[in-house]
Amino acid sequence: MNRRAIYPGSFDPPTMGHLSLITRGLFLFDKIVVAVAKNSAKAPLFSAEERVEMLRASLSDCDPARVEVDSFEGLLVNYARQKNAAAILRGMRATADFEYEFQMAMVNRHLEPDIQSVFLMTDYRWLYISSTIVKEAASFGADVSQMVPPPVVERLKEKFAAQGCAQRV
Span near ligand PNS by CB under 6 A; candidates 25-33, 102-110, 119-127, 139-147: 102-110
Q: In what order do the strands lie in the sheet with 116-121?
A: 67-72, 31-37, 4-9, 87-92, 116-121
Return the number of the residue (9 or 151) whose C-beta is nearest ligand PNS.
9
Return the number of the residue (37 or 138) whose C-beta is nearest ligand PNS.
37
| b/e 59-85 (16+ beta carbons within 10 angstroms → b) | beebeeeebbbebbeeebbebbeebeb
Return the number of the residue (18 or 56) whose C-beta is nearest ligand PNS.
18
Question: What residues numbered 22-41 form the site for ligand PNS, per CB under 6 A?
Answer: 37, 40
Is residue 9 at the binding interface for ligand PNS, with CB under 6 A as the rule?
A: yes
DSSP string, 91-126: EE-SHHHHHHHHHHHHHHHHH-TTSEEEEEEPPGGG
Per CB under 6 A, the list member of 26, 57, 75, 137 interacting with ligand PNS is 75
Residue 5 β-bridge partners: 32, 87
Please report, as ranges, the residues that interact with ligand PNS according to CB under 6 A.
Answer: 8-10, 37, 40, 75-76, 104, 107-108
Residue positions annotated with a catalytic role: 18, 42, 93, 131
